Amino acid sequence: MQTATLRIGTRGSPLALAQARETRARLMAAHRLPEEAFAIEVISTSGDRIQDRPLSEAGGKGLFTKEIEEALLAGSIDIAVHSSKDMPTELPEGLRLSAFLPREDARDGFVGKAAATIESLPHGATVGSSSLRRQALIRRMRPDVSVVTFRGNVQTRLRKLDEGIVDGTILAHAGLKRLGMADVITDLMPLEKFPPAPGQGAICIESRIGDARIEELLAPIHHRDTGLALACERAFLAALDGSCRTPIAGYATVEDDNMHFAGLILSPDGRTAFDVVMDGSVGEPESLGRRAGEFVREKAGTRFFESWT
């Protein structure tokens, strides 16, 4: 890139802007370019505007990407920066996930007002979350707790917590760290007890297929191990037809030439769950994720899905 501006598309929440700025900073360092060489373009998405009902009822996680992807296809932005866990498994024709930044801590953090941990909440306490996965995991841990849908960005949810609307909520540790707000967490949830959403903690960059200039720019900031892990996790999701209607957890790690994957599917009430643990080669991350998804789908049986979809 010479002096032309690279246009970075993003949602307008404080966390989305922090992720766009991190992407810009990495590109500036990799190519020794000034901040003026980049423009961050804020694009309002349906997911941001719809606040009166769960996303699962409004159309799923694609609501956070649709308008940004339309801008990317139209050429009004050059790249789009997303939270990987917001990305549908199928992308619009002509687009691809071309780079992943190094993954942050994938754990969830409990932010408690009535108690420091989910286990120590009083009987009948209320916990707010917009994630079906988190809701199901909370119900599995504490069937007596009331779980309510809790929409809004990080700041909005914390304000609602301070106002006493709920006794606790759960937020991604990675997002709070990127906002410099990790100190609000009262309990970090262990991966084994509270596994993350596929893609949680990872920033991905979407671009147009065949755009050689952009691919050359992004190559130096792509983190190989994060990309491999996400390929596995997204294949697991795809094998399960994962969407906002499905409580699914999945987490892959890379060590040398080996990949380890742990996945979990739950019923929304948290009472029924099926898990899978598999190892494979980093050379075939999609194959590992797909096999894990097919295994857990067969293990659960079709009635498991039909009973609550």
3-state helix, strand, coil in the chain (%, to 5): 40, 25, 40
C-alpha distance across the termini of the chain, in Å: 48
Q: Please state, in angstroms and as integers, the Cα–Cα distance from residue 31 to each residue in 26, 45, 209, 214, 221, following that order.
A: 9, 30, 22, 12, 10
R_g over Cα of the chain? 19
For residue 188, what are the contacts with CB-CB under 8 A and spacing of at least 6?
A: 107, 108, 109, 110, 173
Q: 69 and 77 in contact (C-beta within 8 Å)?
A: no
Q: Is 86 a known active-site residue? A: yes
Q: What is the largest CA-CA distance in the chain?
A: 62
Q: 235 and 288 in contact (C-beta within 8 Å)?
A: yes
DSSP bridge pairs for 148: 128
Residue in 48, 52, 78, 86 annotated catalytic: 86
Q: CA 79 to CA 71: how far, in whole Å?
A: 9
Q: Provide the total of helices (H) and of strands (E) in the chain, helices listed first.
A: 11, 13
Identify the three-state secondary structure at position 211.
coil
Cβ neighbour number for residue 54 with a 10 Å cutoff: 16
List the one residue out of 222, 237, 286, 279 whose CA is nearest residue 254. Answer: 279
Active site (catalytic) residues: 86
